[in-house]
């Protein structure tokens, strides 16, 4: 039936409300520091960014433009992200996030920090690269991507670039390098001695 002539005109949803609706498609949560995060699809992988980050702001603005055919204004983006942040902090689950290495699902995970958000899973005497690792890592702008590991690699080759003459000291140093990638494991501080120019850095 046609609307009555006396009926009030239908109101279009405000931009901020529409942005909040769009954000319902992402996974919201907060970390151990009560920082609000959003996990959302980017191409063929998932990324995790703080709600206050410029990356999430850009994703939200792009999603709005793809949906509505116009750009949201700055006030709408600010207002909507306040609500989204509140939902993530007070209405969503808590997930402890880690940097570079983490222990989860009975394995050790090493973040490759690459554009595809892959991670190495180490467990049961084997390792592989996961395209969709569990929700355990946070990223920072200064992080650099790691090279893909090689199954033919040899940790002993590192000795060529370390000026350590004693074989026992070299073995201890190589063990320390491996132990640094095992999270939640006590280890001594690495203190290197040598004259200026000896390669301590």
**Could you tell me which of 72, 96, 95 has the C-alpha nearest to residue 23?**
72
pLDDT tens sequence across 120-135 = 999 988 999 999 999 9
Residue 8: band (very low, low, confident or very high) from pLDDT cuts 50, 70, 90: low
> What Cα–Cα distance (Å) separates residue 75 from each residue in 14, 71, 72, 156, 172?
11, 12, 8, 57, 57
CA of residue 137 relative to chain centroid, distance: 4
pLDDT value of position 9: 54
pLDDT level of residue 5 (50, 70, 90 thresholds): low
Say whether pLDDT at 164 is over 90: no
pLDDT digits (tens, 9 = 90+) for 66-107: 999 999 999 999 999 999 999 999 999 999 999 999 999 899
Report how far apart, in Å, the C-alpha atoms of 110 and of each of 7, 90, 145, 153 are. Answer: 60, 29, 11, 17
Angle between helices 54-68 and 74-90 (to 10 degrees): 120
């Amino acid at each position: 039936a046609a609307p009555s002539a006396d009926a009030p005109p239908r109101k279009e949803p405000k931009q901020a409300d529409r942005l909040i609706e769009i954000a319902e498609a992402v996974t919201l949560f907060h970390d151990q520091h009560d920082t609000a995060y959003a996990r959302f699809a980017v191409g063929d992988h998932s990324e995790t960014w703080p709600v206050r980050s410029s990356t999430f702001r850009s994703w939200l603005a792009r999603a709005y433009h793809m949906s509505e055919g116009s750009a949201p204004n700055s006030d709408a983006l600010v207002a909507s992200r306040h609500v989204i942040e509140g939902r993530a902090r007070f209405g969503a689950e808590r997930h402890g996030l880690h940097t570079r290495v983490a222990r989860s699902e009975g394995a050790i995970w090493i973040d490759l920090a690459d554009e595809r958000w892959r991670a190495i899973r180490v467990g049961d005497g084997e390792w592989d690269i996961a395209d969709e690792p569990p929700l355990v890592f946070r990223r920072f702008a200064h992080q650099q991507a790691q090279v893909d590991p090689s199954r033919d690699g040899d940790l002993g080759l590192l000795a060529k670039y370390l000026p350590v003459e004693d074989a026992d000291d070299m073995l201890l140093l190589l063990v320390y390098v491996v132990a640094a990638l095992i999270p939640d494991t006590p280890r001594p501080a690495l203190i290197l001695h040598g004259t200026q120019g000896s390669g301590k850095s």
